[in-house]
Every structure is written in C-alpha cells, then in structure tokens.
Structure 1
C-alpha cells in the first residue's frame, strides 16, 4: 500500500496497531472536554459569534426567487388546476357502484378474486363510515401526482442511466429529496404556487419521484447483455434498442418503482391537506385529531390505510404479472375482460336513475364507528391508566432521560428513588473499566472502545456532551470506517449544524432517533429471528407488517396519542411502530437465504439448533441484518418531523414551526440538518458493510 493509499483507505485496511492507536487519544480528549466544560463555556455551547445567519440567507434568496418567478409558477398552478378539478369532479360524479366495480375488476385481473374481494370490502368500509367524498378527493390527488412523479422519475432515471456523470449528480439530490422532511419545502411551494390543491400535488410529486429514478436506473442497468446483443443482431436502431428491447426487459423493475412512487404519493395525503385546502381524507384525520376526537380520527386513518393497501397490492401485482404470456392470444382473449368491464361500468352508470342505490349509498347503511370507539378508548384508558402511566414513566425515567441528560442528572429521588452519590459514580466507573479490561483481554478491541464511549455518553447525556468531543469522536469514527472521504464529509456535516445554530436541536433529534432505532432494531431483529424459524409466526406477522408499512406515518400517531397523550414517549412509540418493519424483513430474509451448504456442513459436524442459529446463520446473515439497520435508521429519522406534531422539541419541531411561522429559512435549515443526520448515518452503515464484506473475502481467500 502506497503512502497515498494509506491516507485515503479506511483504517480497517491498516495494521492493527495503527488502526486502534487513535482511540485512546480520542477518548482521553473527550474526557478532558467533559471535565473542562464547566469551566470553559464555549465547550458546552458553540460560540454564537462563530455562527452564520444561514436561515436569513435562505430567506433572502427565497424572497428574491418568489418576487421574480411567482407569475411563472402561478401559471403552472392554473395549468394543473383544471385537470385536478376535472378528475375530482369525475370521481364525485361517478356512482359509487361504478367506481368500486372498476377498481375491483382491475384487482381481479391483477391478482385474482382474493384482491378483488379485499378491494370491494375496503371501499364498502369507506361508504359505511360516510367518508366517500373525502376519499375520492384524496384519490384525485394520487391519480394526478403519481403519473407526474412517474414521468419525472423515469426521465431522470433514463438520463442517469445513459450518463454516469448525471447519475453521480442525481444520487446526492435523491438522498436529500428523500431525507429532507416534506414540511421543509412546503412553505416555498406555498409561496410560489399559492394556496390550494396544486400545492399538495407539487409536494407529492417532489416527495414521490426519487424511488422511480432509482428503480429505472436499476432496471435498465440489469437487463441481460444477451437480450441487448439479440436486439443488435436483429438490426435494431439505437432508439428501437432502447424502447423495444431494454425498456420492456426492465419493465418489471420499473413497475416496482411505480409501486413505491404510488405509496410515497399517498403518504403525502395528510401533509398535503395541511396546505392544500381540500376536503380530503387527510384533512379529516388532521381536523379530528386536533379536536381530540380520536375515534373519528382513527376511523379516517383506517380509510387511508385501506386505500394504501389496495393501491400497494394493485401496483405490486402489475409488476409481478408483467411479462406473463398474453401476446400470442387473439384480440378477444387479450382484451375481452376489459371490454366486459367497460360494458358493465356503462350499464351501472345508465341504470343509476332507475336504481338509486347504485348512485348513493343508502343513509340507513351508514355505521357510526367513531362514538363507540371513543367510548371504548376512554374506558380502556380509565381502566388501565395506572399501568399505562407506569410503563410510560419507567421508559422515560430509566431509559430516555439518562440517554438525554445523563445519569448524573437523571438519577434523583423523584425519578429513581434516590440521589446519586459519589460511591454510585465510583461503582459505575469500575464497571466500565472492568468491562473494558475484559474485552481487551479477550482481544475484542472494538467492544472495549464501544464500552467506554457508551459509558461516557450514558453518564453525561447526549445533549450535554461537549460539542468538540462529539466532533472528535464522530470524525475519527468516520476515518476509522471509511477513510479520509467519510471523515471530511462527517466534519462538514457537523460544521453545518454548529455554524447554523442547529446543534442543540440536532442532539435532541439524535437522542430520540437513537432510542427509537435501538428499540426498533432490537424488536425487529428478534421477531425476524423467530419468523425465520417458525413459518406460522411469519404468516401471522406478514399482514401486520404490511399494514404498518403501507399506512401513512401520520396515522401511527393516533393510537399513541390516545393512550399516552402528547410528548416524547408517544413520539418514540410512533417511530418504533414505523421503523421496526425493515429490521424484521431484512433479518427474516437474510436468515432464510443463508447458504444451504453452510447449514448442512454445520449440521454434519453435530451443531445444535442454538449453535446453528448463533454461530452459522446469524453471522452469515449479518450483511442483510445490517442493511435492515440502515433502513431502520432512515425510517426513524424520517418519522421525526411527523413525531414533532405530538410535542417533541427537536429539529422536526423546528421544521414544523418554520412552516407555521412562514419562516422558510428556519424550516429549511432544520430540514437540511435532519437530512445530514440521516445521510451521515447511512454512510457509516454502508462503510461498515463494505469493511465486513472485505473481512469475509479475506477470510475465505
């Protein structure tokens, strides 16, 4: 390895002595910062004189942009208002029976009678609870935003596929688009496009197009070379080779992008309703939740969840059925079903004056689920209030507060039942030293480092750690994991948080995200391990995970707020319910797809089922499990801004305040801060995966 290589490569590629030489120095420096922060003010709080008015700069740029380009964007608003109005009017004009018939018919064609029945029953629920009109307004937004997002995403994906330089430029933009909270860019959209449903449309497109770009690039790139060579040998031109060979071969992956784009668009329904001014289902959820009508809010939330699951299965089914041989059949065989469906729909529309039940759902068939739900919720809370309070206080006092402000402040007679004494600190220090010594003695240097770092953070607290110590630890960790490039990007990311005055709020976000990610990963991996061993448990968990992953994140706040009121604990539970799913899925998938040869070899050597799991399956599935951790982190951070609606005080709350106060700079700076945290965590996970793969490759060579 040359000298240049040694400086650019991750430290994992260096000799052991050099790899770990820096950690004692970094830990010593962090301890000195902790001890000195009481005497040196600037160690605790980054000097305000060194902060930059970045939010004011953003506001100035946005004011100039709005003043100069508002007429152009208002023209776009008028352009999109007409098709949105037409589709909304069409969906409201169509009798409910025709709409259900068409969508259930499509479901039948895509996945058979099971999905058709589920679709029909889902829409019957919408009719029974009296939310048909708001649901149709929401579908109108989806029916416009999804094609636009697909078109934009496909175009950018093709550009990224044909131009490596364009792909390198697109990927960071996609990372930012997927990690900056939607609230952060709602205000400039509102200023440019004006108040109304088009604002929600634009926000949905911006939020939903990145998955289409990624899947388009992936699908086009993974087309087998044999198919391309066959097209070239047939004399296809460059355009024909692309549109008639490559795109059809990649269509399944592209349709997966359509599926993910559809779900992303629908997840924006509630957020879009905040600024869209439309009487849609998102507004029903939001307005009833604000009035603490949790029964009505949950009823409306279930509508969104059902719509999401129907659209998810329809678009996923299109991807799965793509390519099944129909092209050799006659015209009637290929199109007969659609002709029959169109005829049946026309018949329903024509007959509705004769049969009024086809036009309007009878009032006597409506069911008031909100009142009994409210009654049941109140009864449950009154009955189990002591137990709920015990759970809530235990988690807050014994887990959340110590991680947030440190054991030295969290331990008190009110929280733990006793005051922290010097001998408690001495015992805690001895335990840290003993654990570190044991890890070093057994050759587990990385474990020793983690014991010391976690011990320091847990005693001092994430929010009270000196900023200089945090910077030193994370930058060195980035160097350790990914070399100079990751260290520099980490330093720049942390510098942005410092100079913009976002540090304190960022530490609160990291505290809540850390708690949520740890809990989500522990729950998800544990359940995933069980599911990989027990088929019945896997089948039991599948619909639960599908529901939680397709349900818009906002809806997950409803049950937590009902039971535990607003606050960090409710936010924590909402994040966990959303973020544990990827950990579960990746763990189960990794364990179920471990090499059969490795399992047979271990079994032939007499390994017990326990040894087989912990010494064979889990180590081999670790890359998949770590990918689940990566996705859990991204999901957890994405939920922070949603959780801000129930009382958190972190960057997510800053984003929401910026939107409410009309302060674009404040909201956008906080949004970039959240994106920085997510992207940095993502890069750390990817660096770990690369290092782990390198170790495995060296071990097998």
Structure 2
C-alpha cells in the first residue's frame, strides 16, 4: 500500500472516529468537550505577574514615558508652527524628487484635502506620532536585525518574537502598556513602536544576508575592518531591502493611529474617526478616515519609490552644492513659501470660510440606500446567515427547521445526506483524487454537525495530521503545542467561534479576490481601476471599514463577516495579479508555440504556475482576516476578539493576553501550513524556492 493510500485511510479513520464520538457523546463526553477541571489557572497567574511588574518597575516605565513626551511635543509644536503651505510644498517636492511629476501631483492634492476638509490640526497631531514612532521603530528594528544577522542564537530567539508581535492583536497589549506607562499621547507612541518595528527587523536580516559574496570579498581585499565592512559595504548593499522594511514600518505605524488615539486621548485624526464612529456618523467618520488613508498612501509611495531607486555612485569631481542640490532646493522652496505666507495670511492659516465639509451628503446617501433597498438588504442578510453561516457554525442538524429553511430535517433526510456524502467521497477516491475525497468527507461532517460542535480531540488529531502532511514532524509538534495551549487555557470554544467566522471570510475573500486578480492580470484597465480601491481598503482605518456595513446591515455576525472580507480580500487580489503577471516568459512562449488559446493559456499554463504565489496571497488573506476579527468584535461577534475587549474593559490582563496569544497561535499555524504547502508546490513545479 502506498503512502498516500495509508494517509487517506488514516483520514477516513479520524473522520469516522469523530462521527462515532458525536453519536456516543454521552459515553465519550471528555473527548468531545474539554473538561473544565483540566484547564490551567493561567489568568490569575498572569495577573499576579503583571501586578508585580507594575509595582516593581512602574516608576521606571513612567519616567521613560515622560522622557519620550519631550521630542513628541517638540515635533507636534513644529508641525503646528509651520504654515500649511510650507508643509504642502515640502511633501510635494519630496514626492517629485524620488518619483517624478505623477506622485508629486497626487501628494499635492492628498495634502490639500486635509487642509480643505478642515482637519489640518488633527492631521499634524497624528503625523507627529508617526514622525517620532517610525524613526524609533526603524532604529530598534535595524539594531535587532543586525544582531540577528550576526548571531544565530539571537535570530532563533527573535523570529518567534516577531511572529508574536505581528500576530497578537494590538488591543491585546494595550492593557499592559497602559498599566506600565500610564495614560496619554506617549502611550500611543509606544504602542505604535511595538507594532511597527518587526518589518524592519525582518528586512534588515534579509537584506544583509543577500549581500553577494563577491561584494564582501572586494571589501576584505581592500583592507576593510569588521566595522568598515559592515557600515560601508554590507549596509549600502542591503539598503534597498532595508528601505522596504522602513516602508512597511511606516505603514504599520499609520495603521496604529486610531488604536493609539484610544489610549492617547489627543485631538488627532484617529480620535476624530473614533468619536464620529461611536456616534454612528457615517459621513464624518469616512471623511476623517480618508485623511489617514491619504497620509498613509503618500508616505507609502514616497518611501517605496525611495527604496526602488537605484543607488547613484558619488562622483568625486562634482561640487558639493551639486551633490546636495535637492536638499538645497527643498530649503529654498520652503523658505520662499514661508515668506509668501507672511504676506498672504491664507497661506499660513487656511480660512474656515474656504473649507468644504460634505459629510451631510454622505449621510443622506447612506440613508437613501437603506430606505430604498431595505427588502433586498434583509434578503441578502437572511440568506447568508441561515444558509451559509449557521450551517458552518452549528450544523445542518441544528439549523434546518420550519422557521429557517421552511421544513424539518427528518431522520430519513439525515440518512440520505450521509449516504450521498459517502457516495460522493467514494466516487472521487475511486478516480485517484484521494485528497479531494478527504476534503469532501470533512466538509460533509462539519456541515452536518457544525464546526463549533466537533470534538476537540478529533479536530486536534486532524490538524496535527494535516500539519505533518504539509510540513513534517516539526510543524506537527508546533500545531499540537499551539492548540494544546488553547485547550489548557480554556479558550477552545472561543477559538472555534473565531475560526468559524474567519474561515468563511477567508474562503469567500480568496475566491472573490482571486477572480478579480485574474481579471486585473488579463486586462490593464481592470488593474488600473482596482489598484486605488485596494490602496484605500488597505490604508483606511479598520474602524472606518465597519461603519458602512453597520449602517446598512446593523449589528450582527453577517456585518462582521462583510467587514472582515472587505479588509482581507486585498492580498488575494494583489498576489493573484502579481503571480499571473510574472509567469516565466519561456512558459508563455512555449504555450503560444503549441497554439494555446487565451483561455487555455490561463487555465493550463498561467494558473498552475502562479498557484504558489496565489497561495502566499491566501496566507496573507488569513492573516488580514484574523487581524480584523478584533475590530469585528465591536459589532456583536463572540470569540477571541470579544475576549480581548473584555480583558481591556475590565482591566484584566490575563484574559486579554491569553485571547491575544490564542489569535496569534491560530494565525501562526495557518501561516506555517500555507507556507509549507507553497514550498512543496514550488518544488513540484521546479520553481526557485530560495
């Protein structure tokens, strides 16, 4: 018997054992529902540890917070002192210097929007937070990245820490930051630094590791010392990769603007979004959210363009003023506009009479939509909830009823369902597609009983077997330990609720996103249309994404599902388009020589070769969906996201951090599994896996 056949039999045994446990749940209760007496008292232990830390080191942390307030206040005062016209000119010139006229025009109108809409003061408060947090995050990230590059032991220690910091929801560590540093703007700054520095660490290690050996050998032959070799050879050669890390760090800092405002309490643009959202003011919150999206897009484009620029070798014959001509021009422009601002007061402080604030038009539009399409909205919500979400969550056996489906799920119908599922899985297995047969079997069992009702023992065994298939013993062990923590910490039921909502969102987001990505790869017009939408969805504050869905569909799990999908669909689109547009040219030429039609080219050549890259998109879709779960908990979902809010609201560090770690565990297991599958698929296709 082949290995695949043995694995298929093992899967069949696990699925059969799961059904047997459910049918005999009275006699196998401990294997179905994890006993409460087996749960470890982690929450009080963590709370006691945090209380001891606060009592012992609290004064030092608060002193550090006070020290950070000095540069932050200085930058904020400087930004408020500068005329808006000077800031606008300098940002526009920086965009022109790194990328040209197109980015300069976009940056000009993006900054002008903040002025015209009346949010300049709040925008500068938010920019002050980013202006301090990004350099500090970059400095910390570069230092740790360099340490990880030179020390294998440090690298092994930092990798899981980076994974944890990037997958634990930011809300989960707001509480310890508040307890240690107190309340105020600097606390938001610290939260931004913690969230934003991991990308710089990763890109620094990657950049330093990819410096060509011949470059290092040339440096050694020229007599460079170890320090000179690092600063004058390795770092300049790795600068493009490091700058990409700076770009990602900047975007991560912007994504923390609203969360930082929750604990900062300052009059920044994040607080404006949060306060208008709490009042359900759709127009006002969208206009403020667009400010953050535009700020993030401008900084993203400028830093990305700077990272993509080819470094220019210095010319010893050029005069110093020519070498620094861009800096000289920027200073001259800034001074010139500052002088004009003294002559024309409108260039110093934008007149309120000139402001445009169309919030009431947006509010009227959303109200019209709700009234005119109320019947269609209710129909969509009802169908999705009763025919898709509840069967996955609770199972057909509990969902089908005269109230929901219009008929009862009789024993005869249940037997027919089981026979049909077994027959379909058997037919598929007989054709040699054993993996698909296993998938059909799992879906049939899950839809019948519901994901949240499946035995913990069966799910643990199946997840471990899947991890072993994809990544071997190491991944299987990590999966057992991670899921074991969820069980022993007592958050398994909440974790399954999160997996249920996140799973539906990921599947729908990936299917829809991949379809849009295929269209964008095939048609340039679609690509140009989709890109700004993707940018807006990815940079728009997560809170703002909730607003239109709450206004239209009210509070509930369906609203949360749509909000998660709106955020998670972006990487599926981008990676699908990227993978299809970067299929090796020789494969395309060979297919064309064989006379493939456009449709055959897509299905038989491009999609199979682009699948590994598209699976990376699935990986990121999962990560985005989990990140959005905490925000979605605001609209009535249960699960780990709700536990994070309970911990934050009650000041219970243990509950909040356990739920946050639980979400990180789910994210990391999904990440490792999709990475392992992608790597295996690349090897099967003979693609470069370095």
The TM-score bracket by the shorter chain reads: over 0.9
Counterpart for residue 198 of structure 2: 210
Counterpart for residue 546 of structure 1: 535
Counterpart for residue 3 of structure 1: none
Q: Which one of 676, 681, 684 corresponds to residue 665 of structure 2?
A: 676
| Aligned mates of 1:593, 1:508 — CA distance in 2 | 38
Following superposition, the deviation at residue 38 of structure 1 comes to 4.8
CA 1:336–1:64 in structure 2 vs 1: closer, same or farther (change >3 Å)?
same
| Aligned mates of 1:527, 1:399 — CA distance in 2 | 22
| Aligned mates of 1:64, 1:255 — CA distance in 2 | 40
- Find the residue that maps to 1:563 and give its secondary structure: helix
Following superposition, the deviation at residue 338 of structure 1 comes to 2.4
| Aligned mates of 2:581, 2:295 — CA distance in 1 | 31
Counterpart for residue 464 of structure 2: 475
| Aligned mates of 2:544, 2:280 — CA distance in 1 | 14
Following superposition, the deviation at residue 371 of structure 1 comes to 1.5
Q: Does 1:120 align with 2:108?
A: yes
Q: Which one of 396, 401, 407 corresponds to residue 385 of structure 2?
A: 396
Counterpart for residue 155 of structure 1: 143
1:168-187 correspondence runs (5 A) = 168-187=156-175
What whole-Å deviation, never above 9, does each CA across 1:192-212 have from its counterpart, x for those lacking one? 111001110110000000100
Point out where structure 1 has 5 or more consecutive residues left out of the alignment.
Answer: 1-10
| Aligned mates of 1:25, 1:690 — CA distance in 2 | 28
Q: Which one of 15, 21, 24 corresponds to residue 33 of structure 1?
A: 21
Counterpart for residue 331 of structure 2: 342
Counterpart for residue 233 of structure 2: 245
Larger mean Cα displacement after TM superposition, 265-274 or 165-174:
165-174
Following superposition, the deviation at residue 458 of structure 1 comes to 1.0
Following superposition, the deviation at residue 677 of structure 1 comes to 0.3
| Aligned mates of 2:678, 2:391 — CA distance in 1 | 30
Contact residue 47 and residue 652 of structure 2 kept, 8 A = yes
CA 1:238–1:416 in structure 2 vs 1: closer, same or farther (change >3 Å)?
same
What whole-Å deviation, never above 9, does each CA across 1:346-394 have from its counterpart, x for those lacking one? 2433443432112211121111211121112111211112111211221
What whole-Å deviation, never above 9, does each CA across 1:102-150 have from its counterpart, x for those lacking one? 1111111111222222112112211122111111100000000000000
Contact residue 37 and residue 466 of structure 1 kept, 8 A = no
Following superposition, the deviation at residue 343 of structure 1 comes to 2.5
1:356-371 correspondence runs (5 A) = 356-371=345-360
1:35-50 correspondence runs (5 A) = 35-38=23-26, 40-50=28-38
Contact residue 69 and residue 186 of structure 2 kept, 8 A = yes
Q: Does 1:381 align with 2:374?
A: no
Contact residue 8 and residue 438 of structure 2 kept, 8 A = no
Q: Does 1:70 align with 2:94?
A: no
Counterpart for residue 243 of structure 2: 255
| Aligned mates of 1:153, 1:111 — CA distance in 2 | 26
CA 1:693–1:105 in structure 2 vs 1: closer, same or farther (change >3 Å)?
closer
TM-score, length of structure 1 as denominator length: 0.95
Q: Does 1:655 align with 2:644?
A: yes
Following superposition, the deviation at residue 484 of structure 1 comes to 2.2
- Find the residue that maps to 1:52 and give its secondary structure: coil
Q: Does 1:165 align with 2:166?
A: no
Contact residue 633 and residue 678 of structure 1 kept, 8 A = yes
- Find the residue that maps to 2:452 and give its secondary structure: coil
Contact residue 31 and residue 455 of structure 2 kept, 8 A = yes
Larger mean Cα displacement after TM superposition, 359-368 or 146-155:
359-368
Q: Does 1:512 align with 2:501?
A: yes
| Aligned mates of 2:341, 2:532 — CA distance in 1 | 37
CA 1:622–1:512 in structure 2 vs 1: closer, same or farther (change >3 Å)?
same
Counterpart for residue 355 of structure 1: 344
Counterpart for residue 6 of structure 1: none
Q: Which one of 288, 294, 298 corresponds to residue 286 of structure 2?
A: 298
Following superposition, the deviation at residue 76 of structure 1 comes to 0.3
Counterpart for residue 614 of structure 2: 625
Contact residue 188 and residue 261 of structure 2 kept, 8 A = yes
Counterpart for residue 665 of structure 1: 654
Counterpart for residue 453 of structure 2: 464
Q: Does 1:96 align with 2:87?
A: no
What whole-Å deviation, never above 9, does each CA across 1:416-453 have from its counterpart, x for those lacking one? 22221223222322221121112111101111111101
- Find the residue that maps to 2:427 and give its secondary structure: helix
Following superposition, the deviation at residue 695 of structure 1 comes to 3.6
Counterpart for residue 4 of structure 1: none
Contact residue 30 and residue 473 of structure 1 kept, 8 A = no
Larger mean Cα displacement after TM superposition, 171-180 or 160-169:
160-169
- Find the residue that maps to 2:490 and give its secondary structure: coil
Counterpart for residue 141 of structure 1: 129
- Find the residue that maps to 1:130 and give its secondary structure: coil
Counterpart for residue 51 of structure 1: 39
| Aligned mates of 2:685, 2:293 — CA distance in 1 | 42
Q: Does 1:409 align with 2:390?
A: no
Q: Which one of 533, 539, 558 corresponds to residue 569 of structure 1?
A: 558
Following superposition, the deviation at residue 580 of structure 1 comes to 1.4
Counterpart for residue 72 of structure 2: 84
What whole-Å deviation, never above 9, does each CA across 1:273-301 have from its counterpart, x for those lacking one? 11111111111011111011111111101
Point out where structure 2 has 5 or more consecutive residues left out of the alignment.
Answer: none
Contact residue 244 and residue 307 of structure 2 kept, 8 A = yes
Contact residue 33 and residue 468 of structure 1 kept, 8 A = no
Following superposition, the deviation at residue 664 of structure 1 comes to 0.6
- Find the residue that maps to 2:494 and give its secondary structure: helix
- Find the residue that maps to 1:104 and give its secondary structure: helix
Following superposition, the deviation at residue 538 of structure 1 comes to 1.6
Q: Does 1:287 align with 2:275?
A: yes
Q: Which one of 292, 297, 314 corresponds to residue 309 of structure 1?
A: 297
Contact residue 73 and residue 192 of structure 1 kept, 8 A = yes
Contact residue 190 and residue 275 of structure 1 kept, 8 A = yes
1:409-448 correspondence runs (5 A) = 409-448=398-437
What whole-Å deviation, never above 9, does each CA across 1:229-275 have from its counterpart, x for those lacking one? 11112111111111011111111110000000000001000001111
| Aligned mates of 2:286, 2:570 — CA distance in 1 | 21
Counterpart for residue 586 of structure 1: 575
Q: Does 1:268 align with 2:256?
A: yes
| Aligned mates of 1:478, 1:336 — CA distance in 2 | 56
Q: Does 1:321 align with 2:328?
A: no
Q: Does 1:227 align with 2:208?
A: no
Contact residue 312 and residue 550 of structure 1 kept, 8 A = no
RMSD (Å), alpha carbons: 1.8
Following superposition, the deviation at residue 652 of structure 1 comes to 0.8
Larger mean Cα displacement after TM superposition, 478-487 or 360-369:
478-487
| Aligned mates of 2:550, 2:310 — CA distance in 1 | 42
Contact residue 304 and residue 552 of structure 1 kept, 8 A = yes
Q: Which one of 402, 420, 438 corresponds to residue 449 of structure 1?
A: 438
| Aligned mates of 1:411, 1:247 — CA distance in 2 | 63
Counterpart for residue 7 of structure 1: none
* Aligned residue-pair number: 686
- Find the residue that maps to 1:235 and give its secondary structure: coil
CA 1:694–1:416 in structure 2 vs 1: closer, same or farther (change >3 Å)?
same
What whole-Å deviation, never above 9, does each CA across 1:325-354 have from its counterpart, x for those lacking one? 564643333323322321332243344343
Following superposition, the deviation at residue 562 of structure 1 comes to 2.2
